Amino acid sequence: MKRISLLTVAAVMVAAAASAQTKLTVITTTEDVASIGREVGGDHISIESLARGYQDPHFVEAKPSFILKLQKADLLVAVGRELEIGWLPPLIQQSRNSRIQPGSQGYLDASLGAAILEIPTGTITRAMGDVHPQGNPHYWMDPENGKRIAKQIADKLSEIRPADRPYFQQRLADFTARLDAAEKRWLAQMSPFRGTKVVTYHRSFPNFSERFGLDIIGYVEPKPGIPPTPQHTLDLINEMKRQNVKIILVEPYFDLKTPNAIGRDTGAQVLVMPPSVGGTKEVTDYFKLFDYDINLLMEAIKKSGAK
Amino acid sequence: MRIWRQAPASLAVALILIGAPASAQDSPQALRQEIDQLRRDFDALKQQYGDRLSALESKLAAAEGAARRPTAQTPAGQPVAEVPAGAAGAGGPTGALPVYGASVGGAKVFNPDIAVIGDFLGASGRNLVNPSPALEMHESEASFQAVVDPYARADFFISFGESGVNLEEGFLTLTSLPGGLLTKVGKMRAAFGKVNSLHNHVLPWTDRPLVIQNLVGGEDGINDAGISVARLIPNPWLFLEATGQVLRGDSGDDFFHSSKRGDLSYVGHLRAYHDITEDSNIDFGFSASRGHNPAGIVDGTDVGRFTTSLYGIDATYRWRPLSRSIYHSFVGRTEWIWSRRDQFDGRQDAMGMYLSGDYQLARRWFAGARLDRSNRAHDASLVDTGGSFLVTYWPSEFSQVRGQYRRTNYALGPSANELLFQFQFSIGAHGAHPF
- To test the contact with chain A by mutation, choose from B198, B281, B323 the residue with the greatest count of A C-beta atoms within 10 A, namely B323
- Looking up residue A230, the CATH number of its domain turns out to be 3.40.50.1980
Question: What residue in A sits closest to B181 (Cα-Cα)?
Answer: A96
H or E, element range at B149: strand B135-149
Residue A114 touches chain B, beta carbons under 8 Å: yes
Average pLDDT over residues B325-354: 96
- The residue from A137, A162, A184 where one domain ends is A184
Within this chain, do residues A144 and A270 fall inside the same structural domain, yes or no?
no
Separation in Å, CA A178 to CA A32, A184, B68: 17, 10, 35
Q: How far apart are CA A264 and CA B139, in angstroms?
A: 47
- The reported pLDDT for the residue numbered B331 is 97
User: Domain boundaries in chain B?
Assistant: 177-428
Residue B143 · residue B115 · CB < 8 Å? yes
Instruction: Sort out which chain B residues have CB atoms less than 8 A from A98's CB and list them.
Output: 150-151, 175-176
pLDDT at B220 > cutoff 80: yes
Residue B306, pLDDT score = 96
Give the single-character DSSP code of B192: S
Same structural domain, A205 and A58? no
Domain match, A122 and A209 both: no
Angle between helices A31-41 and A286-304 (to 10 degrees): 130
Rounded Cα distance between B223 and B187, Å, is 7
Percent of chain B with pLDDT over 90: 68
DSSP string, B394-422: EEETTEEEEEEEEEEE-SSS--EEEEEEE
On whether both A15 and A43 belong to a single domain, the answer is yes
If you write DSSP's letter for every residue of B358-384 in order, what string do you get?
EEE-SSSEEEEEEEEEEE-SS-TT-EE
Boundary of a domain, candidates A151, A184, A217? A184
- The span from the CA of A36 to the CA of A26, in Å, is 12
**Is 90 exceeded by the pLDDT of residue B253?**
no
Among the partner residues A61, A114, A121, nearest to B320 by beta-carbon distance: A61
A 245-264 near B (Cβ less than 8 A): 252-255
Checking if the pLDDT of B30 tops 50, the result is: yes
Residue B160 three-state SS: strand
The answer to whether the Cβ–Cβ distance between B324 and A94 falls below 8 Å is no
Q: Looking at chain A from residue 225 to 244, which residues have their Cβ under 8 Å from any Cβ of chain B?
A: 225-227
Which residues of chain B are within 8 Å of residue A102 when distances are taken between CB atoms? 147
Same domain for A175 and A246, yes or no, is no
Nearest to B290 by CA among B323, B312, B313, B273: B312
A146 with A52, same domain: the answer is yes
Whether residue B43 lies within 8 A of chain A, CB to CB, comes out as no
CA B98 centroid distance within chain? 40
- Cβ–Cβ of B283/A104 closer than 8 Å? no
Listing DSSP states for B245-262 in one string gives EEE-S-BTTTTB--SSTT
When divided into structural domains, chain A yields a total of 2
A66 and A213, same structural domain? no
Q: Say if CB B340 and CB B377 are below 8 A apart.
A: no
Q: State the pLDDT at residue A272.
A: 97
What pLDDT was estimated at residue A3? 53
Residues A285 and A262 in one domain: yes
Residue range B75-129, pLDDT digits in tens: 344 455 555 555 555 555 556 666 555 555 566 788 999 999 999 999 999 999 9
What distance in Å separates the CA atoms of residue B343 and residue B104, rounded to the nearest whole number?
Answer: 59
Residues 6 or more apart whose CB falls under 8 angstroms from that of B384 comprise: B210, B214, B372, B373, B374, B375, B376, B408, B409, B410, B411
* Residue that finishes a domain, picked among A150, A169, A184: A184
B180 and B232 Cβ atoms separated by less than 8 Å: yes
Does A71 reach chain B within 8 Å, measured CB to CB?
A: yes
Residue B252 has a pLDDT of: 87
* Partners of B182 in the β-ladder: B230
Model-level ipTM above the cut of 0.95: no
What's residue B43's pLDDT? 77
| Contacts (Cβ under 8 Å, ≥6 apart) of B163 | none
- Region B403-410 average pLDDT: 97
Q: Residue A277: its pLDDT value, please?
A: 97
CB atoms within 10 A of CB A295: 13
Statement: residue B9 has pLDDT above 50: no
Is B187 in a helix, a strand, or coil? strand
Cβ–Cβ contact B278 with A under 8 A:
yes
Task: Give the pLDDT score at A1.
Answer: 45
Q: Are residues A45 and A175 in the same domain?
A: yes
A93·B398 Cβ contact <8 A: no
Asked if residue A196 and residue A152 are part of one domain, the reply reads: no
Residue of A64, A93, A112 with shortest CB distance to B273: A64
CB pairs under 8 A between A and B: 124
Query: Per-residue confidence of chain A (307 residues) as pLDDT tens digits?
Result: 445 555 555 555 544 444 545 899 999 999 999 999 999 999 999 999 999 999 999 999 999 999 999 999 999 999 999 999 999 999 999 999 989 999 899 999 999 999 999 998 888 888 888 888 899 999 999 999 999 999 999 999 999 999 999 999 999 999 999 999 999 999 999 999 999 999 999 999 999 999 999 999 999 999 998 899 999 999 999 999 999 999 999 999 999 999 999 999 999 999 999 999 999 999 999 999 999 999 999 999 999 875 4
| Residues spanned by the domain of A300 | 191-304
Contacts of B23 (CB under 8 A, 6+ apart): none
User: With bands split at pLDDT 50, 70 and 90, how would you rate the model's confidence at B336?
Assistant: very high
Q: What is the pLDDT of residue B64?
A: 56
Per-residue model confidence (pLDDT) at position B25:
46
A82: closest chain B residue by CA: B430
- A178 with A202, same domain? no
User: Which of A186-195, A280-289, B163-172, B424-433 bottoms out in mean pLDDT, i.e. has the lowest?
Assistant: B424-433
Number of Cβ within a 10 Å radius of residue A235: 13
Thinking of the domain B177-428, which architecture would CATH place it in? Beta Barrel (2.40)
The pLDDT of B291-298, averaged and rounded, is 94
Q: Tell if the CB–CB gap between A252 and B176 is shorter than 8 Å.
A: no
- Per-residue model confidence as pLDDT tens digits over B305-331: 999 999 999 999 999 999 999 999 999
B236 touches chain A (CB under 8 A): no
B325–A144 CB contact, under 8 Å: no
State the pLDDT at residue B31.
75
The SS3 of residue B219 is coil
> What was the pLDDT predicted at B177?
84
Q: Are residues A200 and A171 in the same domain?
A: no
**H runs (alpha helix) in B69-170:** none
Residue B1's pLDDT is: 40
8 Å CB contact of A71 and B175 = no
